[in-house]
C-alpha cells in the first residue's frame, strides 16, 4: 500500500510539472544573473523615459508608443536612481515628480532582476522587479496593461492543452516574472470574468482570426500583453530578448 501511494505521489509531481508553470518570485541566488531594464506603455501620448541622475544615464526607452514594450536593456549600474521623461519633440529631459506631493519618483535597481517601468493610460507610472530562471530555455512573461483583472492567462498547444506557462488573477498594470518553457509552437490564451461567465475564452489571433501559433525558440524572451481599447479586448506578443552590443 505504501509503495502504491509513493508511485501515485510521484505521478502527481510529474503531472504537475508537465501541466505548466506559474510565474513567481525566484528564490535562486541572483548575484550572478544579469540586471536589466524594460519599459512598457499604455499611454496614448508618445513619450521617452530615462533612468539615471543628472550625471549618469542608466537606461533610455526611446520613443514609447501606446501598447508597446522595449526589449530588455542590460545594465551594470546599481543603487537608487530617478526617472526622467520628455516628449519626442523636446530636447530637454524633465525629472518625474508626483503630481500631488511633488516628490521625485526614484527607483532602486536590484542586482539580478529586471526593473520594469510601466507607463499607465492616464499618464501615471509604476515600477516592479521581475525575476527569471537561470537557464537557456525560452522565457515568457505576462502583462495586464489596463484591464481591472485578468482571471487567467496561459501558453500552450491549445486552450487548456499542452500548457507550458500560466498565471492567474493578474491585476491592472502588472507584469509577471519570466518562466522558462520548452521550445515549441504555442498559442496564447486568456480569460476575464465576462468570458468565464459564458464558458468562452480569448486568444491571440492570426490574420484569419483563428488562434495564432508562435514559434517559441530557446534563448528568446517573450512578453504576452493584454489590454482594452474602448472596452474591446486586445493582445499582442513581443520578442523582448535582451539587447546585445
Report the alpha-carbon distance of residue 84 to residue 97 in Å, rounded.
9
pLDDT over threshold 70, residue 182: yes
Whole-prediction pTM: 0.87
168-178 b/e (C-beta count within 10 Å ≥ 16 → b): eebebbbbbbb
Q: Which helix (H) or strand (E) holds 155?
A: strand 149-156
Sketch out the chain's domains with CATH numbers.
26-131 (2.60.40), 133-245 (2.60.40)
pLDDT above 70 (res 11): no
Tens digits of per-residue pLDDT, 23-64?
644 455 555 789 999 999 999 999 999 999 988 899 999 999
Give the integer Cα–Cα distance in Å for 95 and 24.
Answer: 32
**Residue 19 — φ and ψ, nearest 5°?**
-70, -30
Work out the average pLDDT over 103-116.
92
CA atoms of 222 and 140, how far apart (whole Å): 5
**Percent of the chain topping pLDDT 70:** 85
Amino acid at each position: 500500500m505504501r509503495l502504491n501511494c509513493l508511485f501515485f505521489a510521484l505521478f502527481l509531481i510529474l503531472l504537475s510539472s508537465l501541466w505548466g508553470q506559474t510565474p513567481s518570485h525566484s528564490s535562486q541566488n541572483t548575484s550572478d544573473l544579469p540586471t536589466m531594464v524594460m519599459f512598457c506603455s499604455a499611454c496614448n501620448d508618445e513619450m521617452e523615459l530615462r533612468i539615471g541622475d543628472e550625471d549618469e544615464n542608466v537606461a533610455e526607452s526611446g520613443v514609447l508608443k501606446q501598447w508597446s514594450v522595449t526589449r530588455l536593456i542590460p545594465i551594470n549600474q546599481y543603487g537608487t536612481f530617478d526617472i526622467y521623461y520628455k516628449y519626442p519633440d523636446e530636447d530637454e529631459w524633465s525629472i518625474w515628480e508626483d503630481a500631488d506631493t511633488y516628490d521625485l519618483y526614484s527607483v532602486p535597481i536590484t542586482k539580478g532582476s529586471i526593473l520594469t517601468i510601466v507607463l499607465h493610460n492616464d499618464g501615471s507610472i509604476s515600477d516592479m522587479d521581475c525575476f527569471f530562471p537561470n537557464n537557456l530555455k525560452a522565457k515568457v512573461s505576462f502583462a495586464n496593461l489596463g484591464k481591472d483583472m485578468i482571471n487567467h492567462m496561459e501558453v500552450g498547444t491549445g486552450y487548456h492543452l499542452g500548457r507550458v506557462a500560466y498565471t492567474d488573477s493578474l491585476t491592472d498594470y502588472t507584469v509577471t516574472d519570466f518562466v522558462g518553457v520548452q521550445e515549441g509552437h504555442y498559442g496564447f490564451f486568456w480569460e476575464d470574468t465576462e468570458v468565464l461567465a459564458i464558458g468562452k475564452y480569448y486568444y491571440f489571433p492570426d490574420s484569419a482570426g483563428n488562434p495564432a501559433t508562435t514559434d517559441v525558440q530557446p534563448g528568446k524572451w517573450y512578453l504576452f500583453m493584454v489590454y482594452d481599447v474602448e472596452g474591446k479586448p486586445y493582445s499582442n506578443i513581443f520578442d523582448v530578448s535582451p539587447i546585445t552590443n
